[in-house]
């Protein structure tokens, strides 16, 4: 999880987030190269005294500064399209999780199991333990198995919310009367934190999300022992 002094993206916990980080770094390098080149040219123009009083038109320069940006856009567009298709829906997810946004908490339903549903509220300060994160921990965590494809369906009962887990590269709007869905794949065990990312009212900052990723064996035990 990112700390307060860290300006980087969170460490990825899914293959999709890895690809998003790679694409971010790839695009950032291209932007830095363009910025350095343009800055160098501008500095040269400002501080030299060369004058070409016969320069009326220069088709070669026009050709260069048309073709080079086009090539640059291709280098950005192709990885972007690849990533877009990787984000496409998976046909056979192992588990479906339904998420419902409320003002101001989340409720969850495990659609593949009959009676597993619960509300998830932020832990108040007086109930927190020493190892809890303030404003990020909840009383009921989402329990999911790692190394399996998970489908999540998101909706809302009142206003627009947004279900977001940055380390998984997941952000889905929860719209009243509509059902949005996406999928993700958790490739390691751990706790992954998120928050509502749509300004939804006075307590918008107090509806966090916590996913606990465990092995399939432990997940089956949790299902069997749930009451």
- List the chain domain ranges: 15-88, 95-225
Return the structure tokens found at 140: 């009921």
pLDDT digit string (tens) for the chain, length 227 residues: 566 777 778 888 888 889 899 999 999 999 999 999 999 989 988 888 877 777 677 788 888 888 999 999 999 999 999 888 887 766 688 888 999 999 889 999 998 887 788 899 999 888 888 888 888 899 889 999 998 889 999 999 989 999 999 999 899 999 998 999 888 889 999 899 999 998 988 888 899 999 999 999 999 898 888 76
- pLDDT (0 to 100) of residue 89: 66
Identify the pLDDT of residue 116: 87
* Superfamily of chain region 95-225: Cupredoxins -  blue copper proteins (2.60.40.420)
Q: Which pLDDT belongs to residue 120?
A: 92
Q: If you classify domain 15-88 with CATH, what class do you get? A: mainly alpha
Confidence (pLDDT) at 3? 66
Sign of CA dihedral 174, 179, 83, 2: positive
- Residue 7's pLDDT is what? 77
The beta-carbon contacts of 111-119 under 8 Å, at least 24 apart in sequence, are: 111/153, 113/223, 115/226, 116/223, 116/226
pLDDT at 211: 93
């Amino acid at each position: 999880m990112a700390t307060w002094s860290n300006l980087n993206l969170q460490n990825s916990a899914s293959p999709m987030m890895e690809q998003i980080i790679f694409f971010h770094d790839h695009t950032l390098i291209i932007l830095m190269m363009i910025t350095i080149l343009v800055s160098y040219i501008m500095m040269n123009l400002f501080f030299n005294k060369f004058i070409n009083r016969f320069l009326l038109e220069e088709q070669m320069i026009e050709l260069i500064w048309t073709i080079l940006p086009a090539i640059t856009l291709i280098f950005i567009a192709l990885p972007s399209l690849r990533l877009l298709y990787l984000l496409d829906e998976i046909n056979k997810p192992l588990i479906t999780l339904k998420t419902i946004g409320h003002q101001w908490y989340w409720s969850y339903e495990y659609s593949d199991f009959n009676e597993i549903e619960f509300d998830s509220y932020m832990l108040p300060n007086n109930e927190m333990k020493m190892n809890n994160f303030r404003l990020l921990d909840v009383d009921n965590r989402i329990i999911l198995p790692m190394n399996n494809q998970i489908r999540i369906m998101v909706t809302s009962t009142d206003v627009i919310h947004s279900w977001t887990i940055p380390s998984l590269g997941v952000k889905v709007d929860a719209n009243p009367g509509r059902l949005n869905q996406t999928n993700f794949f958790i490739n390691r065990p751990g706790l992954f934190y998120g928050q509502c990312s749509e300004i939804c009212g006075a307590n918008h900052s107090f509806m966090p999300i916590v996913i606990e990723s465990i092995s399939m064996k432990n997940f089956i035990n949790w299902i069997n022992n749930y009451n």
